[in-house]
Each structure stands twice: as structure tokens, then as C-alpha cells.
Amino acid sequence: MLKRIAASAVLVLAALPLRAEIAIEEVTSPGGIAVWLVEEHALPFVALEIRLRGGANLDEPGARGAANAAMWLMNEGAGDMDARAFAERAEELAAHFSFRAGDDALSISAMMLSENMDEAADLLAVALTEPRFDADAIERMREDVLQSIARDRMSPGAIAAQTLYSMVWPDHPYGSDSKGTVESMSALTRDDIVTAWENTVTRADVYVGAVGDIDAETLGGLIDRILGGLPAAGPPGPPRVEYTLAGGTTIVDFPTPQSVAFFAQRGIAIDDPRYFAASILNTVLGDGMESRLMQELREKRGLTYGIGTALAPRDLSALMIGSFASSNATMAEAVGLVQEEWERIAREGITEEELEFARTWMTGEYPLRFDGNGAIARILVGMQMIGLPADYVTHRNDYVNAVTLEQANRVAGELYDPEGLHFVVVGQPEGL
Amino acid sequence: MLRLMTMVLALLPVLAQAQVVTDAVLDNGMEVVVIEDHRAPAVYHSVWYRTGAADEPPGASGAAHLLEHLMFKATGTLAPGELSATVAANGGSDNAATSSDYTFYYQRIAADRLELVMRMEADRMRNLRLTPAEIETERQVVIEERNQRVENNPGALANEQGMAAQYLNHPYGAPVIGWMHEIEQLGYPDVQAFYDLYYSPNNAVLIVAGDVDPDEVLELARIHYGPIAPAPDLPARIRPEEPPQRAARHLVYSDPRVAQARLWRTYLAPQRISGDQRDAAALLYLAQLLGGSPFTSVLARDLSFDSRIASETSASYWGTSLDATTFRVALTPADGISLDQAEAALDASLVRILEEGVDEARFERLKVQLRASEIYAQDNAAGLAQRYGAALASGLTVADVQDWPRVLQEVTEEDVMRMARAVLVPEHSVTVHLVPEEE
């Protein structure tokens, strides 16, 4: 009974229009900055998402962690306001700003009330263009980051991830923690931070998404207020880097009852024409409760609370990655099962039924992502960064549905490399 | 300053329109709340049972949570895992969560799939078919969950010890996931008894939020949940009460995996009371004033700016609780500062706020922020649904939830100080020192 209902519902879903309400306006500010806008006047605020490509990849030699430090300090005073005065001003406006240094880009998120948007934009502009980097703020930042690095060194999950990345990218910024090391952060100077700010906070490669209670003309002026004062050019980033890590298992001894595993192999670039097929394969293998790995490890055997895999393309490299945790006594069995499933999908691919499941899940889940001003703003900026056109949102599900079983299984054979799968296990796993 | 506040005040009528809430009760006692949000063609469907870990019998900690996991197994009409698989096949997502006071199950899915998920959710309210083999496997999953969340995390282990010391008599002292030695012993009788006793329409609240018509939701609820008979012998939600707490408790939790010493303190604190939420609202202000901002709050000022005692401070209060909750302050000491020094400075700072009262300008800014946070909260339909669900499963009503923003705006500085004096009492507190090794 339910099976039948589910099947007919799927047919209806495929025929549904995909969120006709999403009307993306491509706006160019008077100052020449491109912005994507979705007007949504139901609530009196605007969510703004800004990405400045470069990010922590632009850290200079010996100053690892400088971009992260600069972003940490963006809320710590600007212009004639010290840290507390800046915070008080933001409280008066009830505006929320967050600044984050990703590997490939800086992320700036803002939520601003319609009523005082101009004042909030001015405050954000001052933060970006006139940061103070006061000595006491730098020392607060240094202590916080060093404490965070110390916590990571005692966290099996953080150790596993960082060990794996350092093996995948030994000679590239991707291979080290963007927070920096104890050595680099202990030695970091104000000059290093100023340099990182000058290098990364530019509008050389800027992307903006805005969603909320604002029209195109007002938005153009607002964006120029925020970003118009930034330098127009920045330094080049590091080169692309190939994935060359061989398969195997690396164990990091750590006294804890449950081991944590991260595993990876060569990935696929986001602009690769096979990317949709790869996404379908990843859904079948390791994304969600219905995936093969979740069924084999959790549902059938109770070996883990959860396992997930992901395509993890970055601007300059790509990997496929996964992680899970299992008791020291059962980690070896769990790793063996992951290896078996990796080998099976490479050899057999997926079934027609699995393809259909993945297609309906992916196409049904997609419109649900457009959930709230902030979420939509992040989608808008993400699309721009990978060069997608605005009308992609109306065609994306067609691309998913166009993947045939033959294509998917050809890509499975090309992509999944059981010999190349490398596990990093942190803990005291028995029999590995 | 004043001009700004007036402007934000003017926004409140807009809010009232943005959030259209319909409340009804089915003949079998199931409460239904519908929150309309037509911005996206999605719906959040959730059922909240007014039962949680604090309702477990002694010795069976973790039963409510294990049952939550097992609710995804077979029913009379659904195969194990079929509910989630069907939701996923329709592009939706689903999950569930257990707290001390409630257990809830939700699906997020395209709005035209509401009946599909409602039919399945209603089915598992009464038709669960547990098997020993499934319980065995799922108990292993929960043990791995506990390993991941707690055993591998010294801060979580220390927090368990702290809560056990905070509650001398009330079951809030036991962890929701359960003590490991009791999880290992949970079996069919524990979970089946819990299910039979508590999973019924008159002990449940249906919260639907999204692109839906309230009349249609109510009609569907009558069709799918309406026929389920209410439980005749639903026990009253009366738990063992705390005796007077007469001794400040100090714990030192030592673990070689601790990278950074930390301390926190919890005080027993009153929860939101239906029709009388002012004290709880004042405590929310107190938490924000003490530790809501790393820049402008009292603890940050005293311990991070005016002195270098702490690298991080915070204060928190969560008032949505059936019985007495906790008010928490926490800090990470700066380099070279011992936990004892940090605790002494924390005590001095708390004495200072009791003596000096609250900073009026900061109090007014906080009011503005709390108004604005209501606007930002409207952006998240699932978050609104959870706000109603948690409240309605914790002894509050729809009217209480809707009154809350107004009650927050009516709080005075005197209310805050009155509650500070009532709650910041050493004898009602537990202080936990989390250390890498015995100091």
C-alpha cells in the first residue's frame, strides 16, 4: 500500500515545477560589483552573503593562520571604535556579522534589519576597511586560537582529519590547518595580520548573494557602501595540486575507547561533466540512512552511530572523503566492510533501483534547500563561485534526471579506486 | 538610541502577520498546532510526545532514547527502515530526538507530501512491532552513539557528573542517552513498557509548519491521528522533587585527554511557568547580561577585558523545562591562571553584579536585540515549530509561546536583580573543574 503511494508520489514530484517563486535578479551595483538578489519582503530584514576568493590559501610562508587571525579580529574594533564600542554599535543596530577564513575564500555573513540597513552597512564597511588590530585584541585572538589548536590535538576526529589532509597535500596550504600551528601562531605579528588582511580583503574576486526586504537599486547602493572601499586587486593564490596519496591504512595511537576513522581517495572536480553521476553514486554509497555503508555498518551490524561519505571538491584539488567512529574492538571489521563496499561499487556499479532512489531523493531534496533568507543567500553565492548561471536552479534537477544507469556505472568504474583508498584511524583499534 | 527602539517597536505588527498559528485539539486529546509559512513549498511535520528520559523507571536510563531509535523499525504495515526510506524517496529528510521531557519525530518534505508522512507517523504511534534481534543491534548503535558523544569527550563526561550532583533527587540527574551500564542491560520489556504507556494521542502534540492550509492539516490529522484511541491511564507528569539544596558542591574531573582546563557552574533555577513566565524571562536577561556577548557582558568585561583571567566566558539559561532547570556560567582560564584563581574572580564578578545592579544602557540594547531576534527567528519555519513543540511538551501553552516576546519586553532591571539574588545562591550550585590531571 505504502510502496504504491510512494511510487506514484515520485512521478508527481518529477513533474512539479521547481520553486517558481525563486526569482533571481542579477544586479550590478553603480560601482560595478555583481550581486544576485532574491527579493523577499515577508520579513523586515536582509541576509547578505559575501565571498572573497583567496582565503587562507593566501597565507604567506611562515605565517600560517594569518588569514584566520585577521577574520577573528574583524569583530574586534574598527575606525574610532575599540572592540567593545564596535560590539555596542552592532547591538544597537541588532545587526549580526560573522567573518570566517575558509581555505579557498573568506566568508562574510550579515543579517541586517530593514529599518537600519544603511547604518549596519556602514558598520560592516568600517570593519572591513578600517580594522584596528589592537594589541590587546591580538593577544586575545592568539590565546583563543592556541587553545583551540590544543583542543584539536586531543580530539580524535580533528587528529584524524588533519593527519589525512597532511598526507594528501604535504606541500600545499590545504595540507595544514588554516588556524595555523603552535609555532606559527606563537610567532605571528601584527604586520603578518595586516598583510593577510591586505591580501585577502579585496574585491578582486568577490561574490555576493542577497535575500530579503530590499530592491535592486537599494541593494546596489548598499553593496557599494560595504565593498566599494576595498582594494581592487590581490595577490595570486597557490597552484592547483594533484591527489597522489596511495591507498593504505595509517594508525595514530590515541588512548580512547572508540576509534575515529577518516578515509579518502582521489576526487572529481565540480566542473567535471561526470559530477552529477558521481553525486548519484555517492548518494547510493554513503550519503544518508539509506546508503549502502549506513545499512551495512549501522543498520545490519550496529558497528557505528553513523557513517557518511562526500564528494569534496575544492578550488585547487578534489577528493572523496568519509568518516565514522567505532569501538576499538570493532573498528577493523568496520574498515573491512568499507573496503568491500568500495570494491563492490567500483566493480558492479549500482542497480537501476538505486539509481532511481538517488534521483528522486536528490531532486526532491533540492527545492527544500531554499529554506530561509540566509540559506538562499548562501546558495546564490555558492552558485556564482562555481560559475553556474542564475537559471541553473530551474534546470538542475533535469541534469540529475538525465544521468543513465550506463553512465553512472561507467563513472563508478572510473572513479572508485579501492586500491587508492586510504584510512587514517585514531584510537587503539584491535587487529588493524 | 531611543529613536532606534521606536523604529524596532514599529515592526511588531508585521511580526504578528508573518506568523499565523492555528491551535486545535482532536477528540482523542491530541493537540494540533499549525504554523503557516508560505515562502517555500515545504512542510515540517512533527509529533512531540510528552515523555522523555526523566520519565524512565529507576535503573532503565536510556530507555526513552533507545525507543526513539527503535521507532524507525517495523510496524504492522511498515518494514524496518521503510518510513525513512519512503521519506527519502520523496526527497524529504527525517529524524527524531529525545530530551529529558519530550521525544519528537519529524519529517521535512515537499508540502504536497504531508499526508504521506502523516499516515506513517500515525501508524507508528500504535503499531510498532519490536523484535529482540532489532533491539540487540540498535542497542549496539546506541552504545556507539554514547561512545561518540560522551565516552570520547571528557567535557561531556564531566558534564554528566555535574548534572548528577546538581539533582539530588530529580531524574534530570541521569543523562538522556543513559548510563552505559544501564544501556547495556536495556531489553524488550523496558522499551515496550515505555511505548505502551506513553505513546498515545492524548500524550502527543502535532506541530506542522510550512506551506499548508490549517483547515486541510486539521482534516488530515482527524483522518490519520483521529482514529487512534487515547490511553486511559496516562500517568500525571509528577517526578520526584528536589529537597532543599544546602551544600555547594565542587567536583574535579580529571582526564588525560583534556587539552584545556575549564570550569563551569550550574545553579538550580526555576523554569518557565505557564501563565507566569516573568521570572524565567528575567533569567534569560541575566544570562545575556552576564555572558551573552564576548565583548559587552559582565563576565567578559571583568574577566577578559579589565583583567586577563579568562580567555572565554559565557552564561546560559534554557527555561523550557517541565521541572526546575539550571542557570550556567562557564569560563576558560587565560594562560597562567589556575582554575582556583579563575573561580575566585568569577565569584567576585557575580558579587559585583549583585551589588551594583545592571548597566542600564546594556539592558536597553538587550531589549532591542531580543525584539530583533524575534524577526530573525521567523526566517526558520522548522525552528519555530521546535519552539512550539518543546514548549507544549514542557507544560506550556500556545498562548505562553506567543506571550513570550511580550513578557521579555516587560522585564525590568528590578526583575533581573530579584532573580539574580534568588538564583545565584552557592548552596544551590555545582562547580565543575575540568582538568588534564589532578591539580
Task: With 0.90 as the threshold, say if the pTM is over it.
Answer: yes
The Cα of A371 is separated from the nearest Cα of chain B by a number of Å equal to 7
User: How far apart, in Å, are the Cα atoms of A388 and each of A317, A381, A392?
Assistant: 19, 10, 6
Contacts of B82 in chain A (CB under 8 A): 2
The Cα of A9 is separated from the nearest Cα of chain B by a number of Å equal to 7
Q: Does A14 touch chain B (CB under 8 A)?
A: no
The Cα of B236 is separated from the nearest Cα of chain A by a number of Å equal to 34
Residue of B3, B5, B375, B435 to mutate when probing chain A, most A C-beta within 10 A = B375
For residue A153, what is its C-alpha cell? 590535538
Would you call B42 and A368 a contact, using CB atoms and an 8 Å cutoff? yes
Report the pLDDT value the prediction gives residue B199, as an integer from 0 to 100.
97
Indicate the helix (H) or strand (E) that contains B97: strand B93-98
Give the C-alpha separation, B75 to B82, whole Å. Answer: 9
Exposed, middle or buried: residue A398 (CB in 10 Å: 0-12, 13-18, 19+)? exposed
DSSP B52-76: -GGGSPTT-TTHHHHHHHHTTS-BS
- Average pLDDT score over residue span B75-87: 96
From the list B65, B78, B89, the residue with the least C-alpha distance to B120 is: B78
pLDDT band, very low/low/confident/very high, at A8 (cuts 50, 70, 90): very low
Query: Is the per-residue pLDDT at B76 higher than 70?
Result: yes
Give the C-alpha separation, A348 to A345, whole Å. Answer: 5
Name the closest residue on chain B to residue A4, using Cα atoms: B86
DSSP A178-234: TT--HHHHHH--HHHHHHHHHHHSSSTTEEEEEEES--HHHHHHHHHHHHTTS-S--
Indicate the helix (H) or strand (E) that contains B253: strand B249-254
Q: Does A147 touch chain B (CB under 8 A)?
A: yes
DSSP B15-27: HHHH-EEEEEE-T
Query: Is the per-residue pLDDT at A10 higher than 50?
Result: no
Return the beta strands (E) in A44-84 as ranges. Answer: 45-53
Would you call B148 and A299 a contact, using CB atoms and an 8 Å cutoff? no
Would you call A44 and B375 a contact, using CB atoms and an 8 Å cutoff? yes
Q: Does A194 touch chain B (CB under 8 A)?
A: no
Name the closest residue on chain B to residue A75, using Cα atoms: B295
Residue linked to cell 557552574: B265
- Three-state SS at A259: strand
User: How far apart, in Å, are the Cα atoms of B248 and each of A259, B170, B323, B425?
Assistant: 37, 17, 20, 9
Contacts of B42 (CB under 8 A, 6+ apart): A367, A368, A371, B108, B109, B110, B111, B210, B211, B381
Would you call A303 and B369 a contact, using CB atoms and an 8 Å cutoff? no
Give the C-alpha separation, A311 to A243, whole Å. Answer: 14
Angle (CA) B354-B360-B364 rounded to 5° is: 125
Q: Would you say A335 and A425 are in contact if contact means Cβ atoms under 8 Å apart?
A: yes
Q: pLDDT tens for residues B259-280?
A: 999 999 999 999 999 999 999 9
The Cα of A53 is separated from the nearest Cα of chain B by a number of Å equal to 28
Angle (CA) B359-A71-A78 rounded to 5° is: 50
Q: Which residue among B90, B256, B335 places its CB closest to the CB of A364?
A: B90
Sheet with A34-39, edge to edge strand ranges: A25-28, A34-39, A206-212, A45-53, A105-113, A96-101
The amino acid at residue A273 is P
For residue A33, what is its C-alpha cell? 560589483
The amino acid at residue B344 is A
The size of chain A, in residues, is 432
Would you call B41 and A371 a contact, using CB atoms and an 8 Å cutoff? no
- Average pLDDT score over residue span A270-292: 97
- Average pLDDT score over residue span B328-340: 97
Interface of A with B in 243-272 (CB under 8 A): 255-258, 260
Contacts of A365 in chain B (CB under 8 A): 91-93
Q: Is the dihedral of CA A410, A415, A418, A420 positive or negative?
A: positive
Q: Is the dihedral of CA A121, A124, A129, A130 positive or negative?
A: positive
DSSP B264-295: EEEEEE---BTTB-HHHHHHHHHHHHHHS-TT
DSSP B374-420: HHHHTT-HHHHHHHHHHHHTTT--HHHHHHHHHHHHH--HHHHHHHH
Report the pLDDT value the prediction gives residue B39, as an integer from 0 to 100.
85
The Cα of A244 is separated from the nearest Cα of chain B by a number of Å equal to 31
Q: What share of chain B is helix, strand, coil (3-state, %, to 5)?
A: 50, 20, 35
Average of per-residue pLDDT values in chain A = 94
The ipTM assigned to this model is 0.90
- Average pLDDT score over residue span A282-307: 97
For residue B51, what is its C-alpha cell? 515523555
Catalytic residue among B56, B68, B138, B343: B68
Residue B383's φ and ψ, nearest 5 degrees, are -65, -40
Name the closest residue on chain B to residue A297, using Cα atoms: B141
From the list B405, B422, B397, the residue with the least C-alpha distance to B281 is: B405
- Average pLDDT score over residue span A77-89: 97
Contacts of A2 in chain B (CB under 8 A): 77-78, 82, 86, 119-120
How many contacts (CB atoms, under 8 Å) link A and B? 217
Average of per-residue pLDDT values in chain B = 94
Q: pLDDT tens for residues B162-221?
A: 999 999 999 999 999 999 999 999 999 999 999 999 999 999 999 999 999 999 999 999
Query: Is the per-residue pLDDT at A398 higher than 50?
Result: yes
- Three-state SS at B8: helix
pLDDT band, very low/low/confident/very high, at A178 (cuts 50, 70, 90): very high
pLDDT band, very low/low/confident/very high, at A78 (cuts 50, 70, 90): very high
Report the pLDDT value the prediction gives residue B233, as an integer from 0 to 100.
86
Q: Which residue among B91, B334, B378 places its CB closest to the CB of A361?
A: B91
The Cα of B280 is separated from the nearest Cα of chain A by a number of Å equal to 22
pLDDT band, very low/low/confident/very high, at B121 (cuts 50, 70, 90): very high
Query: Is the per-residue pLDDT at B10 higher than 60?
Result: no
Q: pLDDT tens for residues B93-112?
A: 999 999 999 999 999 999 99
For residue B332, what is its C-alpha cell? 576558560
Exposed, middle or buried: residue A71 (CB in 10 Å: 0-12, 13-18, 19+)? buried
- Three-state SS at A291: coil
Indicate the helix (H) or strand (E) that contains B349: helix B339-356
Q: Other CB atoms closer than 10 Å to residue B342's CB: what's the count?
A: 22
Q: Does A328 touch chain B (CB under 8 A)?
A: no
Q: Other CB atoms closer than 10 Å to residue B5's CB: what's the count?
A: 15
pLDDT band, very low/low/confident/very high, at B439 (cuts 50, 70, 90): very low
Interface of A with B in 371-400 (CB under 8 A): 371-374
pLDDT band, very low/low/confident/very high, at A22 (cuts 50, 70, 90): confident
Q: Is B68 a catalytic residue?
A: yes
